[in-house]
Structure 1
Amino acid sequence: MSNQEVTYSTLRFLQSPSESPSRLRSDSTQSPRKAVDKEFSVPWNFIAVTLGIFCLLLLTTVIVLCVQEKHHQQEILRNISKEYDNMKNDYYLKEQVWINKSLEYDYLKNKTLHLESNHENKCRKKIKIYSEFLQNKGLICEGQWSCYGVKCYYFTKNKEKWEGCKKTCQDNGLSLLKINDKDEQAFLKEQTCKNNYWIGLSYDECERKWKWVDSDTSSGMFKIVPRDFY
C-alpha cells in the first residue's frame, strides 16, 4: 500500500451553449420572486384580529336585529292584546244590551198579558153586571129601596151620625154600604143625586187605616177627607 501513488484530479464539465443562458435566466428569475414573496407576506395574527373584529361586528349586528325584532313582535302582541280586549268589551256591551232588551221584552210581554187578562176580567165582570142590571135596572122596592145587579140599596134621609146609621142597619139585619168597584160607585152617584149618605167606611185609630164594616181595608178608590162624623 505505501508503495502505491495516490493521484487526485479535478473533473470539470463543460456546459453546452444552449444550456448556459437558460440556466442563468433561471437563476436570475428565481431570486426576485423570493424577494417579492418576502415583501408581500402578511402575519397571521393580523388576519386573526381582523376576522375577530369582523365576527364581533357581525354578532353585534345580529344582536341588534334580534332586539329590534323582539321589540317589534312585542309591539304586535300588545296591539293584538289591545284589540282583543276592545273586541271583548264590545262583545260584553252587546251582550248586556241584548240581555236588557230581552228583559225589557219579557217585561212588556208580561205587562201586556197582565193588561189583557185584567181587561178580559173586567169585560166578563161588566157583562155579568150588565146582564144582572138588565134584570133589576131601576127597580124600586118598598120605600127607598133601589137594586143594582144582585144588590139592593136602601136610601134614607134620616139625620143620624155614622154610629146611629150603623146600629139602625144592624137592627134591621142590614149593613152599611160597601162599594166594591167603580161601576157600582158610578151607579150610586146617579142614585144619590148630590145628597149625602153614610157608607160603611170608617177610620181605625189603632191601625191608622180606613176599613169597611167587614174589616176589609179600603182599596183606594176614594179621596177621603177626614171629618168628625161620630
Structure 2
Amino acid sequence: MCDEEITYTTVKFHKSSDLQNRERADDTQGPSETGHRVFQYSQEKHELQKILNNSHQENSTMQNESYLIEEMLKNKSIDYNALKHDLDILNRTLNRCYQETKFVLDSKQQRGKQVEGHWFCYGIKCYYFIIDNKRWNECEQKCRSCSLSLLRIDDDDELKFLQLQIKPKSYWIGLLYKTTTRKWQWSDGGPSKLNLMTVKSLKEIGGCAYLRFTGIHHDDCGRTHPCICEKRMDKFPHSVCSKKEK
C-alpha cells in the first residue's frame, strides 16, 4: 500500500469592503441612536410636565371658582335671612294691628247706628273688616254708607297678602258675576291687574265672590259672610281716623 500525500492548505477569509463599511456604520450609529432616544424621552417628559402644570392650573382655577361660589352663597344666605327677619317683623306687626285694633264708624245713612270691625293699613290702602254676617248687597251698601267701597283686589301680590290676613273666616269682596255681560266684574268698575281667568274656582253660573285664605271663591249672593271694605290712604277722611278705638 503506497503512502498518500497529504497536503494542508491554509484558507484565510478577508472581510469584504462592504461588510467593513456596514460595521463602521453600526459603530457610528450606536451613540446616535442613544442620543435620539434621550432626546425623545426628554420631549415626552416635557410634554407630561406641561400637561401636569395645566392640570394643576385648572384645578387651582376650579378651587377659586368654588370658593367664589361658596362666598356668594354665604352672602345670599345672609341677605335672605335679613329679609326674612324683616318680613317676620312686618307680619307680626300687621297681625298685631289686625287683632288688637278696632274701629267704630258712623253710618251716614243711618245716624246713630255704628259699624264695628277691625282695620289695618298696608301700602296705599286701608282695609276694614266688618265682622257682622251680611248678604253681599248689604255689605256693599254698608261700605258705601261709611264712605268706603267693597274690596277690589288690584293684583296677585295683594291677593296673596290678604290671604295671609283672613284666617279662618270668609269675607265678601266687591266681585260679582254680571249676567248682562256674562263676566265677573268689580262692583266699583275700577281697573285691576288681577287675572280672573286664572281663578278656577269662579264658575260662570252667577253669584258673588268671597275671599278665604285658600283664594277667591263664589257663593250665592243671598248667603251671609262678613265683609271687607277698603279706602285709599290718600282719600282717607280724618273723621274716620278720629273714631278708631283700641
Structure with greater Cα Rg: 1
Name the TM-score, length of structure 1 as normaliser. 0.49
More strand as a share of residues: 2
User: Which structure has more helix as a fraction of its residues?
Assistant: 1
Tell me which of the two structures has the higher relative contact order, counting C-alpha pairs closer than 8 angstroms and 6 or more residues apart. 2
- TM-score norm. by structure 2 comes to 0.46
